[in-house]
Chains A and B, each alone.
Chain A
Amino acid sequence: QAQDAVFRVAAVAPSATNDLAFSQSMYDALLAIQKEMGEDQFQFVFQDGTFIVDDAAVALREWASSGEYDLVIAHGSQYGAILEELAPEFPDVSFAWGTDQNTFGLDNVYAYTAASNEGGFLNGAMAALMTKTGVIGVVGPIEVGDAKLYVDGFVAGAKAAKPDVTVNVTYIQSFSDVPLATEAAKTHIANGADILTGTAQMVVGAIAVAKEEGALWFGTQSSQAELAAEAGVQFQVYKWEVVLRDIIANIKAGKLGGEAYVITLANGGLVMEKGLR
């Protein structure tokens, strides 16, 4: 697209680039790619905190029409509807969005998602084996998408490893309500949980609870090892670079989209990192 050698990416994400969760996973990936290719080869702009879907629409449209970007990323499944409307208007711009597998049958749209149930399964199994009280608490945002995938995987894993283990799941209906997520974690502890897990950016409070209550924490999306400190056991970390590398290669080869990617443990897109525990 852009005629010079530099590969330019523009990305929009719903939460902050430092949320230790969804948005940060993509931001870190872009940084990683930049490291690999070098600043002179790869540059990107990143609009974070765009939870208002229409604001993302404005950004995406501007980037697309500017013609300056080789790849425009809509990092958030709530942006899909926009892309479905936008992409056909700019057939020679390459778009990518996630987490989803739907390219809308458009050949300038890539879709990517994470098989977060896999890491969820491992976390769950491990948690089940480690719990002394036989009770595990899960704090989820709303019961959809990546979050649900991880939680379902976690529950399945736990049951598989130890059928009689109790896994209490609480969806607080918000990606951002830290106070409620924290109290939910405390409620789990009060109900006998000695291991906690959760997904999305509002779990930071829950992690603190695990630390204070001497419980264990399993995480996902990004590494929360530092925050969780000695409470952190294992984290499923997204490595979107795996997907981005392919997409960039394709685009350079002139293929603007039409493919859906899944990061898995197998393809190295999902990595289980140990906590300080």
Chain B
Amino acid sequence: MIDQILTASVLASAIRLATPYIFAGLGETFGQRSGVLNLGVDGIMLMGAFAAFYTVFTTQSLLLGVLAALLVGLLLGLATAFVSVTLKAEQGISGIGFYLFGLGMSELLYQKLIGTPKSVTGFPPLAIPGLSDIEFLGIGQIFFRHNLLVYLAFALVPISAFILNRTTFGLKIRAVGQNPEAADAMGVNVARVRYMTVMLGGLMAGLAGASLSIALLNVFQQNLTSGLGFIAVALVYFGRWRPVGVLLGALLFSFVNALQLQASVIAPNIPSEFAVMAPYAITIIALVFASKQTEKPTALTKPFERGE
């Protein structure tokens, strides 16, 4: 039984599923660490997904596709930053607004520019020479036969951690998120830092979208993400605003999801409702047993303005 459930392909599937959550989650982490909650991630992902898909659909160039997604993500990130940093809008609402915009706009463009479901040839699996042949525990299959974006997502985890903890920019991010007044008094331009993190978040969300439409699914349809971006935001809380935490959250969630899909094949008598609910329930339960103390950015969702 267990060997039927815990096959290498299930683990490989977990890795695949985790990819968009990691991209979006890491991006959101930067924003939240600097004190900006971006609830519009899902909308940006959808726009990024479409941009990438349409570009590849018309030009067959995966590189251009990724660039298109990045560009769209960057622009929407800029808009988000402008609204929540400069206009100091209530971040909860504006995020939902951007989500709705992305949801509608991506479908609209899809209807006008493509019309009916089409598929593209996305990033092909890229077997890492040598490593991908490791038979032991199926390691090769689990880790080293994925497409480029999957590898990129996992590579971005340590990079993000490094940026946050080892660079001047990261230091500013942490300071701005914890005590903007102090950061401001030390000559850090709070607005500038937040613009950068939110735009970075947009960039990553766009990438997350691309990873769906031109790497994992290779199709586009309205609401392609179906709320995936909101889960990504939740996973940022799960990961306690640390890149590695986000990674663990994404892996746990995706692993359970892969498991339940496998279970539906080998144990058809489990009510599928419960199977589908499992990832959500287990993520909560996991957090109940996880370490207690959190270091939430104290300035999260609080716009900064001088006493003046």
Interface residues, chain A, CB within 8 Å of chain B? 16, 18-20, 49, 137, 143, 168-174, 176-180, 182-184, 186-188, 190-191, 201-202, 204-205, 207-208, 211-212, 224, 226-227
Contacts and interface: CB of A to CB of B under 8 A. Distances in A.
Given A171-B272, A172-B272, A173-B276, A187 B115 contact: no
Contacts of A137: 265
Interface in B88-132: 107, 111, 115-119
A183 B261 contact: yes
Interface of B: 7, 9-10, 13, 16-17, 20, 107, 111, 115-119, 212, 216-219, 221-226, 228, 257-258, 261-262, 264-266, 268, 272-273, 276
Nearest to A228: B119
B13 A172 contact: no
Contact of A18 (B20, B111, B225): B111
Q: Secondary structure at chain B's binding surface: helix, strand, loop or mixed?
A: helix
B207 to A, nearest CB: 16
Given A170-B265, A188-B265, A178 B258 contact: no
A16 B273 contact: no
The list of the 9 closest CB pairs from A to B, nearest first, reads A190-B9, A208-B119, A204-B117, A171-B272, A173-B276, A170-B264, A187-B261, A205-B217, A168-B265
Contacts of B9: 187, 190-191
Contact of B216 (A168, A179, A184): A179
A173 B272 contact: yes
A168 to B, nearest CB: 4
Given A190-B9, A227-B119, A176 B223 contact: yes
Contact of A183 (B17, B118, B223): B17
Contacts of A16: 107, 111, 222
Contacts of B20: 179
Contacts of B223: 176
Contacts of B261: 170, 180, 183-184, 187
A183 B226 contact: no
A191 B272 contact: no
Contact of B7 (A178, A190, A201, A211): A190
Given A18-B116, A186-B13, A190-B9, 11 more contacts: A16-B111, A19-B117, A20-B116, A170-B261, A178-B219, A179-B224, A187-B258, A205-B217, A208-B119, A224-B117, A227-B219
Contacts of A211: 119
21 contacts: A19-B117, A143-B272, A168-B268, A169-B264, A170-B261, A171-B272, A173-B273, A178-B224, A179-B212, A179-B217, A179-B225, A179-B226, A179-B228, A183-B261, A187-B261, A188-B265, A191-B265, A191-B266, A211-B119, A224-B117, A226-B118
A174 B258 contact: no
Contact of B226 (A19, A170, A177, A186): A177
Contact of B276 (A18, A172, A208): A172
Nearest to A174: B226
Contacts of A224: 117
A176 B222 CA distance: 9
A39 to B, nearest CB: 21
Contacts of A180: 226, 257, 261
B276 A204 contact: no
Contacts of B212: 179
Given A18-B111, A208-B218, A187 B262 contact: yes
A143 B20 CA distance: 28
Contacts of B216: 179, 182
Contacts of A183: 13, 16-17, 257-258, 261
Interface centre among A143, A176, A183, A211 (most CB of B within 10 A): A183
Contacts of A191: 9, 262, 265-266
